[in-house]
Amino acid sequence: MLHLLPLSTLLLLRAVLATPSPPPAARPLPLLIWHGLGDNYAADGLHTVGDLAIDVNPGTFVYYIRLDESPDSDKTATFFGNLTEQIASVCADLAAHPILSSAPGVNALGFSQGGQFLRGFIERCNVPPVKNLVTFGSQHNGISKYQICGASDWLCKTYIGLLKANTWGAWVQSHLVPAQYFRATNDTTGEPTDDYLEYSNFLADVNNEREEKNATYKENLASLDKFVMYVFEEDTTVIPKESGWFAQVNASSGEVTALRNRTIYKEDWIGLRQLDEKGALEFKTTAGGHMRLSDEVLTEVFEGYFSPAKGSWEGPKKESQEQLEL
Protein backbone atom coordinates (compact mmCIF):
# COMPACT_ATOMS: atom_id res chain seq x y z
CA MET A 1 0.00 0.00 0.00
CA LEU A 2 1.31 3.47 -0.92
CA HIS A 3 1.64 5.88 2.01
CA LEU A 4 1.57 9.58 1.12
CA LEU A 5 3.39 12.14 3.23
CA PRO A 6 1.23 14.76 4.93
CA LEU A 7 0.95 18.05 3.04
CA SER A 8 2.69 19.95 5.84
CA THR A 9 5.71 17.63 5.61
CA LEU A 10 5.88 18.05 1.84
CA LEU A 11 5.79 21.82 2.14
CA LEU A 12 8.56 21.78 4.77
CA LEU A 13 10.73 19.51 2.62
CA ARG A 14 10.20 21.75 -0.39
CA ALA A 15 11.23 24.82 1.63
CA VAL A 16 14.40 23.12 2.88
CA LEU A 17 15.40 22.01 -0.61
CA ALA A 18 14.73 25.47 -2.03
CA THR A 19 16.84 27.25 0.58
CA PRO A 20 20.31 27.97 -0.84
CA SER A 21 23.30 26.68 1.10
CA PRO A 22 25.12 29.42 2.99
CA PRO A 23 28.28 30.56 1.21
CA PRO A 24 31.59 29.41 2.68
CA ALA A 25 33.00 31.78 5.25
CA ALA A 26 35.39 34.31 3.74
CA ARG A 27 39.03 33.78 4.66
CA PRO A 28 41.81 36.35 4.55
CA LEU A 29 44.04 36.09 1.53
CA PRO A 30 47.09 33.84 2.03
CA LEU A 31 50.13 35.58 3.50
CA LEU A 32 53.67 35.26 2.14
CA ILE A 33 56.52 36.03 4.55
CA TRP A 34 60.10 36.42 3.33
CA HIS A 35 62.74 36.60 6.05
CA GLY A 36 65.94 38.61 6.12
CA LEU A 37 69.68 38.06 6.04
CA GLY A 38 70.97 35.32 8.35
CA ASP A 39 67.49 34.00 9.11
CA ASN A 40 65.67 30.92 7.82
CA TYR A 41 62.08 30.01 6.99
CA ALA A 42 61.73 27.59 9.92
CA ALA A 43 63.01 29.97 12.62
CA ASP A 44 60.87 30.15 15.75
CA GLY A 45 60.74 33.95 15.65
CA LEU A 46 59.41 33.98 12.12
CA HIS A 47 56.72 31.45 12.96
CA THR A 48 55.74 33.53 15.97
CA VAL A 49 54.95 36.31 13.50
CA GLY A 50 52.94 33.91 11.37
CA ASP A 51 51.04 32.64 14.42
CA LEU A 52 50.17 36.22 15.33
CA ALA A 53 48.88 36.81 11.80
CA ILE A 54 46.55 33.81 12.23
CA ASP A 55 45.43 34.98 15.68
CA VAL A 56 44.53 38.41 14.31
CA ASN A 57 42.93 37.10 11.11
CA PRO A 58 41.76 33.52 11.74
CA GLY A 59 41.91 31.24 8.72
CA THR A 60 45.00 32.88 7.22
CA PHE A 61 47.18 30.45 5.28
CA VAL A 62 50.78 31.51 5.95
CA TYR A 63 53.59 30.50 3.62
CA TYR A 64 57.20 31.11 4.64
CA ILE A 65 59.26 31.62 1.50
CA ARG A 66 62.34 29.45 1.38
CA LEU A 67 65.13 28.71 -1.07
CA ASP A 68 65.81 25.26 0.33
CA GLU A 69 63.83 22.83 2.48
CA SER A 70 66.84 22.57 4.79
CA PRO A 71 66.74 25.50 7.25
CA ASP A 72 70.54 25.63 7.36
CA SER A 73 70.78 25.77 3.56
CA ASP A 74 68.00 28.36 3.46
CA LYS A 75 70.03 30.52 5.86
CA THR A 76 73.16 30.12 3.74
CA ALA A 77 71.17 31.22 0.68
CA THR A 78 70.56 34.60 2.34
CA PHE A 79 74.30 35.27 1.95
CA PHE A 80 75.33 33.13 -0.99
CA GLY A 81 73.52 32.81 -4.32
CA ASN A 82 72.45 34.52 -7.51
CA LEU A 83 69.38 36.69 -6.82
CA THR A 84 68.15 36.40 -10.39
CA GLU A 85 68.10 32.62 -10.05
CA GLN A 86 66.74 32.71 -6.51
CA ILE A 87 63.76 34.86 -7.41
CA ALA A 88 63.07 32.73 -10.50
CA SER A 89 63.03 29.69 -8.20
CA VAL A 90 60.55 31.36 -5.84
CA CYS A 91 58.39 32.36 -8.82
CA ALA A 92 58.23 28.72 -9.94
CA ASP A 93 57.55 27.39 -6.42
CA LEU A 94 54.69 29.79 -5.70
CA ALA A 95 53.07 29.39 -9.12
CA ALA A 96 52.99 25.60 -8.61
CA HIS A 97 51.86 25.62 -4.97
CA PRO A 98 48.50 23.78 -4.67
CA ILE A 99 46.95 26.38 -2.36
CA LEU A 100 48.64 29.61 -3.39
CA SER A 101 48.13 28.98 -7.10
CA SER A 102 44.38 28.68 -6.56
CA ALA A 103 44.05 31.92 -4.60
CA PRO A 104 42.80 35.07 -6.35
CA GLY A 105 45.65 36.96 -4.72
CA VAL A 106 47.97 37.00 -1.71
CA ASN A 107 49.35 39.45 0.81
CA ALA A 108 53.09 39.77 1.41
CA LEU A 109 55.26 40.73 4.36
CA GLY A 110 58.99 41.29 3.85
CA PHE A 111 61.59 41.65 6.58
CA SER A 112 64.81 43.52 5.73
CA GLN A 113 66.23 42.18 2.44
CA GLY A 114 63.16 39.96 2.09
CA GLY A 115 61.22 43.15 1.36
CA GLN A 116 63.06 44.07 -1.83
CA PHE A 117 63.11 40.40 -2.85
CA LEU A 118 59.31 40.30 -2.60
CA ARG A 119 59.21 43.43 -4.71
CA GLY A 120 61.43 41.67 -7.23
CA PHE A 121 58.99 38.74 -7.22
CA ILE A 122 56.09 41.11 -7.88
CA GLU A 123 57.85 42.92 -10.70
CA ARG A 124 59.23 39.84 -12.42
CA CYS A 125 56.40 37.30 -12.19
CA ASN A 126 53.65 38.09 -9.61
CA VAL A 127 51.91 34.70 -9.77
CA PRO A 128 49.91 34.50 -7.57
CA PRO A 129 49.30 38.26 -7.68
CA VAL A 130 50.23 40.22 -4.56
CA LYS A 131 47.53 42.61 -3.38
CA ASN A 132 49.15 44.27 -0.38
CA LEU A 133 52.90 44.48 0.28
CA VAL A 134 54.35 45.60 3.62
CA THR A 135 58.12 45.83 4.16
CA PHE A 136 60.12 46.47 7.33
CA GLY A 137 63.63 47.93 7.22
CA SER A 138 64.14 46.92 3.60
CA GLN A 139 66.81 48.26 1.27
CA HIS A 140 64.67 49.38 -1.66
CA ASN A 141 67.26 51.93 -2.77
CA GLY A 142 70.17 49.72 -1.82
CA ILE A 143 72.91 50.01 0.78
CA SER A 144 76.05 52.13 0.73
CA LYS A 145 77.93 50.19 3.45
CA TYR A 146 78.15 46.51 4.36
CA GLN A 147 77.29 47.08 8.02
CA ILE A 148 74.78 44.26 8.22
CA CYS A 149 76.26 41.63 10.57
CA GLY A 150 75.62 40.91 14.20
CA ALA A 151 78.64 41.03 16.52
CA SER A 152 78.84 37.22 16.77
CA ASP A 153 77.69 36.31 13.25
CA TRP A 154 80.98 35.02 11.83
CA LEU A 155 79.37 33.51 8.73
CA CYS A 156 78.07 36.95 7.82
CA LYS A 157 81.43 38.59 8.58
CA THR A 158 83.22 36.10 6.32
CA TYR A 159 80.96 36.96 3.39
CA ILE A 160 81.24 40.69 4.04
CA GLY A 161 85.02 40.40 3.80
CA LEU A 162 84.60 38.91 0.33
CA LEU A 163 82.10 41.61 -0.62
CA LYS A 164 84.41 44.47 0.23
CA ALA A 165 87.20 42.95 -1.84
CA ASN A 166 85.51 43.33 -5.23
CA THR A 167 81.86 44.41 -5.21
CA TRP A 168 81.53 44.76 -8.99
CA GLY A 169 83.37 41.61 -9.99
CA ALA A 170 81.37 39.05 -11.97
CA TRP A 171 81.81 36.34 -9.33
CA VAL A 172 80.74 38.58 -6.44
CA GLN A 173 77.70 39.91 -8.32
CA SER A 174 76.53 36.39 -9.15
CA HIS A 175 77.29 34.74 -5.80
CA LEU A 176 77.17 37.13 -2.83
CA VAL A 177 73.66 38.34 -2.06
CA PRO A 178 74.22 41.73 -0.31
CA ALA A 179 76.51 42.86 -3.14
CA GLN A 180 73.57 42.54 -5.49
CA TYR A 181 71.67 45.32 -3.71
CA PHE A 182 74.73 47.48 -2.99
CA ARG A 183 74.31 50.88 -4.65
CA ALA A 184 77.36 53.07 -5.25
CA THR A 185 76.85 56.79 -5.84
CA ASN A 186 79.01 59.75 -6.81
CA ASP A 187 80.04 61.64 -3.66
CA THR A 188 79.43 65.00 -5.33
CA THR A 189 76.22 64.48 -7.26
CA GLY A 190 74.71 61.59 -5.31
CA GLU A 191 73.85 59.87 -8.60
CA PRO A 192 74.64 56.17 -9.18
CA THR A 193 78.05 55.28 -10.54
CA ASP A 194 78.65 53.75 -13.95
CA ASP A 195 79.95 50.53 -12.36
CA TYR A 196 76.72 50.08 -10.43
CA LEU A 197 74.53 50.68 -13.47
CA GLU A 198 76.57 48.29 -15.61
CA TYR A 199 77.33 45.44 -13.22
CA SER A 200 74.57 45.33 -10.55
CA ASN A 201 72.93 41.93 -10.86
CA PHE A 202 69.70 42.84 -9.08
CA LEU A 203 68.96 46.31 -7.76
CA ALA A 204 69.71 48.40 -10.86
CA ASP A 205 67.41 46.06 -12.77
CA VAL A 206 64.39 45.93 -10.43
CA ASN A 207 64.62 49.70 -9.91
CA ASN A 208 64.61 50.20 -13.70
CA GLU A 209 67.63 52.49 -13.42
CA ARG A 210 69.20 51.50 -16.71
CA GLU A 211 68.40 53.30 -19.95
CA GLU A 212 66.14 50.54 -21.23
CA LYS A 213 63.09 50.24 -18.97
CA ASN A 214 61.06 47.10 -18.34
CA ALA A 215 57.40 48.10 -18.68
CA THR A 216 56.23 44.89 -16.96
CA TYR A 217 57.99 45.89 -13.75
CA LYS A 218 56.02 49.11 -13.62
CA GLU A 219 52.72 47.47 -14.54
CA ASN A 220 53.06 44.73 -11.92
CA LEU A 221 54.09 46.96 -9.02
CA ALA A 222 51.44 49.56 -9.85
CA SER A 223 48.79 46.83 -9.58
CA LEU A 224 49.18 46.67 -5.79
CA ASP A 225 46.31 47.80 -3.61
CA LYS A 226 48.80 48.97 -0.97
CA PHE A 227 52.57 49.25 -0.73
CA VAL A 228 53.57 50.13 2.83
CA MET A 229 57.21 50.78 3.77
CA TYR A 230 58.34 50.86 7.40
CA VAL A 231 61.68 52.39 8.44
CA PHE A 232 63.14 51.79 11.91
CA GLU A 233 63.87 55.11 13.61
CA GLU A 234 67.12 53.92 15.24
CA ASP A 235 68.27 51.64 12.43
CA THR A 236 72.09 51.52 12.31
CA THR A 237 72.28 48.24 10.38
CA VAL A 238 70.84 49.46 7.08
CA ILE A 239 72.96 52.31 5.73
CA PRO A 240 71.28 54.52 4.77
CA LYS A 241 68.09 53.61 6.63
CA GLU A 242 66.14 55.99 4.33
CA SER A 243 66.62 53.36 1.63
CA GLY A 244 63.50 51.74 3.09
CA TRP A 245 61.52 54.66 1.60
CA PHE A 246 63.40 54.74 -1.73
CA ALA A 247 65.16 57.91 -0.57
CA GLN A 248 68.64 58.74 -1.86
CA VAL A 249 71.34 59.93 0.54
CA ASN A 250 74.44 61.79 -0.58
CA ALA A 251 77.33 59.90 1.01
CA SER A 252 79.44 63.08 1.25
CA SER A 253 76.99 65.69 2.50
CA GLY A 254 74.39 63.44 4.10
CA GLU A 255 71.67 65.29 2.19
CA VAL A 256 68.53 63.20 1.79
CA THR A 257 66.52 63.35 -1.42
CA ALA A 258 63.04 62.01 -0.76
CA LEU A 259 61.40 59.65 -3.23
CA ARG A 260 58.98 62.24 -4.61
CA ASN A 261 61.92 64.46 -5.59
CA ARG A 262 63.77 61.70 -7.44
CA THR A 263 63.71 60.82 -11.13
CA ILE A 264 62.60 57.24 -10.40
CA TYR A 265 59.35 58.80 -9.11
CA LYS A 266 58.96 61.75 -11.47
CA GLU A 267 59.36 59.56 -14.56
CA ASP A 268 57.61 56.67 -12.79
CA TRP A 269 60.13 53.98 -13.68
CA ILE A 270 58.52 51.24 -11.56
CA GLY A 271 55.01 52.54 -10.83
CA LEU A 272 55.63 54.26 -7.50
CA ARG A 273 54.09 57.55 -8.63
CA GLN A 274 51.05 55.72 -9.97
CA LEU A 275 50.66 53.98 -6.61
CA ASP A 276 51.05 57.29 -4.78
CA GLU A 277 48.48 59.05 -6.93
CA LYS A 278 45.84 56.44 -6.11
CA GLY A 279 46.65 56.59 -2.38
CA ALA A 280 48.32 53.19 -2.32
CA LEU A 281 51.83 54.22 -1.21
CA GLU A 282 52.47 54.67 2.52
CA PHE A 283 55.63 55.71 4.39
CA LYS A 284 55.75 54.56 8.02
CA THR A 285 58.22 54.66 10.90
CA THR A 286 58.51 52.41 13.91
CA ALA A 287 60.63 52.84 17.02
CA GLY A 288 63.81 50.93 17.72
CA GLY A 289 66.74 49.44 15.88
CA HIS A 290 66.75 47.16 12.87
CA MET A 291 64.06 44.46 13.09
CA ARG A 292 63.12 45.39 16.67
CA LEU A 293 59.44 44.76 16.15
CA SER A 294 56.64 44.72 18.69
CA ASP A 295 53.47 42.64 18.55
CA GLU A 296 51.53 45.90 18.68
CA VAL A 297 53.02 47.13 15.41
CA LEU A 298 52.56 43.76 13.69
CA THR A 299 48.97 43.56 14.91
CA GLU A 300 48.29 46.99 13.40
CA VAL A 301 49.66 45.72 10.09
CA PHE A 302 47.62 42.53 10.15
CA GLU A 303 44.44 44.41 11.04
CA GLY A 304 45.03 47.36 8.73
CA TYR A 305 46.34 45.72 5.57
CA PHE A 306 45.78 41.94 5.68
CA SER A 307 42.28 41.55 7.12
CA PRO A 308 39.46 39.87 5.13
CA ALA A 309 38.05 43.37 4.54
CA LYS A 310 41.14 44.07 2.41
CA GLY A 311 40.74 40.90 0.36
CA SER A 312 39.25 37.46 0.92
CA TRP A 313 38.51 34.13 -0.71
CA GLU A 314 36.78 30.85 0.10
CA GLY A 315 40.09 29.23 0.93
CA PRO A 316 41.31 25.65 0.83
CA LYS A 317 39.76 22.74 2.64
CA LYS A 318 40.87 22.62 6.26
CA GLU A 319 42.73 19.35 5.87
CA SER A 320 44.64 20.69 2.87
CA GLN A 321 45.85 23.70 4.81
CA GLU A 322 46.93 21.56 7.76
CA GLN A 323 48.85 19.21 5.48
CA LEU A 324 50.70 21.98 3.66
CA GLU A 325 51.29 24.54 6.40
CA LEU A 326 54.84 24.48 7.79
| pLDDT greater at residue 24 or residue 313 | 313
Is 196's pLDDT higher than 90? yes
Q: Can you tell me the mean pLDDT for 184-199?
A: 88
Cβ atoms 305, 134 nearer than 8 A: yes
What's the confidence (pLDDT) of residue 96? 97
CA 265 to chain centre: 20
Looking at the chain, the whole-number percentage of residues with pLDDT higher than 90 is: 74
CATH class, range 27-324: alpha beta
Q: Can you tell me the mean pLDDT for 75-84?
A: 96
- Report, as residue numbers or ranges, the catalytic residues: 112, 235, 290
First-to-last C-alpha distance (Å) of the chain: 61
What's the confidence (pLDDT) of residue 166? 85
pLDDT bracket for residue 201 (50, 70, 90): very high
Average pLDDT, the chain: 89
What's the confidence (pLDDT) of residue 251? 78
pLDDT bracket for residue 6 (50, 70, 90): low
pLDDT bracket for residue 148 (50, 70, 90): low
Which parts of the chain fold into alpha helices (H)? 7-18, 44-56, 71-76, 83-96, 113-124, 154-165, 170-175, 194-199, 203-206, 215-222, 263-266, 272-277, 295-305, 318-324
pLDDT bracket for residue 323 (50, 70, 90): very low
| pLDDT greater at residue 9 or residue 195 | 195
